[in-house]
Each structure stands twice: as C-alpha cells, then as structure tokens.
Amino acid sequence: REKDGDLPKARANLDRLYTYYLMSWAFLVLIITLLLIGILF
C-alpha cells in the first residue's frame, strides 16, 4: 500500500521537473532570439 501512495507523489515531481525543463528551454530560445535580433538589426 505504501508504494501506491508514493506513485502519485513521484509523478507530480516528474511533472514539475518537466515543466521546469520546458520553461528553461523557452527562456533559452527567447534569449537566443533576442540576441539574433540585436545582431541582425
């Protein structure tokens, strides 16, 4: 029964990690885009 209780918690942590991962990627893309715009224009 303990494992059943731990599963949703682990899944929530995974979702949070995935969200942070996506956010950091979006942030990187934004910075790179701004840098490119600054260089080109």
pLDDT digits (tens, 9 = 90+) for 8-28: 888 899 999 999 999 999 999
**pLDDT of 1:** 53
Rounded Cα distance, 18 and 2, in Å: 25
Place of tokens 């303990």: 2
DSSP 1-41: -HHHHHHHHHHHHHHHHHHHHHHHHHHHHHHHHHHHHHHH-
User: Mean pLDDT over residues 4-10, rounded?
Assistant: 78
Could you tell me the pLDDT band of residue 6, with boundaries at 50, 70 and 90?
confident
pTM score of the predicted model? 0.58
